[in-house]
């Protein structure tokens, strides 16, 4: 079928809407993740959220809300610890392994939900229901409003933490609030590409944008545009080839990043 006919299907319209909503949030937050050297935090939160998603499936509720709940708890804990949790790769790695192990146990205990493991791990944007689209929209609006509200002290604390603290900015509070926003964004992005591949969607577009411009506002705007283009292109390519949309989204994200590296060095 011609690719122009894909929007005739309700599930494709839902996929494009969900993809666009999540791409905007991921692109904007990804830039601050990179500026604050917290890209590993986003990756860690997605792994922790796996246990929350599978635990929710075990008790019969939506994996999205379980994922959101546990990532929020982990994000607040990371933010409260401040700098103390960084550099502890072994401890963090063990905690992430424990979270994945708990997720596998939850799936084992309730085998009727075992088929959800692929969706939770790798996403299924073409299976997003309209109710989920509205939930993603609400979460995205909350995230963007919260990010806009703390953007000035967040940027101040990111670029000059000592001066920001001297001026009365609570670095710990800013860290907690920002990581809570990241947790919401990770929960949303996992609906598209799964908990294992969140890194590509949240960090890939932002990393490419930050290579192409040194201005924060321009970087955020470009990251959002790249995330939108990569997500929608991935969905369209999945429709045209019948290959998994997650594969195409990750592939386009990585291709754009490598292209930005070549452009920067040219």
Q: How confident is the model at residue 152 (pLDDT cuts 50, 70, 90)?
A: very high
| Dihedral Cα 88, 89, 91, 92, nearest 10 deg | 110
pLDDT in tens, 178-200: 999 999 998 888 878 887 778 78
Judge whether 224 and 28 are in contact, CB under 8 Å: yes
Q: How confident is the model at residue 225 (pLDDT cuts 50, 70, 90)?
A: very high
Judge whether 157 and 164 are in contact, CB under 8 Å: yes
Question: What average pLDDT does range 212-239 have in this prediction?
Answer: 93
Sign of CA dihedral 248, 106, 57, 76: negative
Compute the distance between CA of residue 48 and CA of residue 76 in angstroms, rounded to an integer: 13
Question: What average pLDDT does range 100-118 have in this prediction?
Answer: 70
pLDDT for 84:
56
Domains of the chain: 3-265 (1.10.3470.10)
Q: How confident is the model at residue 129 (pLDDT cuts 50, 70, 90)?
A: confident
Compute the distance between CA of residue 207 and CA of residue 261 in angstroms, rounded to an integer: 10
pTM of the model: 0.87
Length, in residues, of the chain: 266
């Amino acid at each position: 079928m011609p690719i122009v006919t894909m929007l005739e299907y309700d599930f494709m319209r839902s996929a494009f809407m969900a993809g666009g909503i999540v791409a905007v949030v991921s692109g904007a937050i990804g830039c601050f993740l990179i500026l604050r050297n917290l890209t590993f935090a986003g990756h860690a939160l997605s792994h922790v959220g796996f246990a929350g998603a599978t635990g929710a499936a075990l008790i019969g509720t939506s994996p999205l809300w379980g994922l959101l709940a546990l990532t929020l708890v982990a994000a607040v804990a990371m933010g409260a610890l401040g700098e103390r949790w960084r550099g502890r790769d072994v401890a963090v790695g063990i905690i992430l392994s424990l979270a994945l192990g708990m997720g596998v146990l939850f799936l084992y205990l309730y085998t009727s939900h075992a088929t959800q493991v692929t969706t939770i791990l790798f996403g299924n944007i073409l299976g997003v229901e309209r109710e989920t689209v509205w939930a993603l929209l609400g979460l995205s609006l909350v995230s963007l409003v919260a990010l806009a509200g703390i953007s000035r002290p967040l940027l101040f604390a990111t670029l000059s933490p000592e001066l920001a603290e001297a001026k009365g900015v609570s670095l710990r509070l800013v860290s907690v609030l920002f990581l809570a926003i990241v947790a919401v964004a990770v929960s949303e992005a996992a609906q598209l590409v799964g908990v294992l591949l969140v890194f590509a969607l949240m960090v890939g577009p932002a990393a490419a944008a930050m290579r192409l411009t040194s201005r924060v506002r321009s970087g955020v705007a470009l990251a959002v545009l790249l995330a939108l283009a990569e997500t929608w292109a991935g969905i369209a390519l999945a429709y045209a080839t019948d290959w998994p949309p997650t594969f195409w989204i990750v592939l386009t994200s990585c291709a754009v990043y490598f292209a930005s590296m070549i452009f920067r060095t040219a």
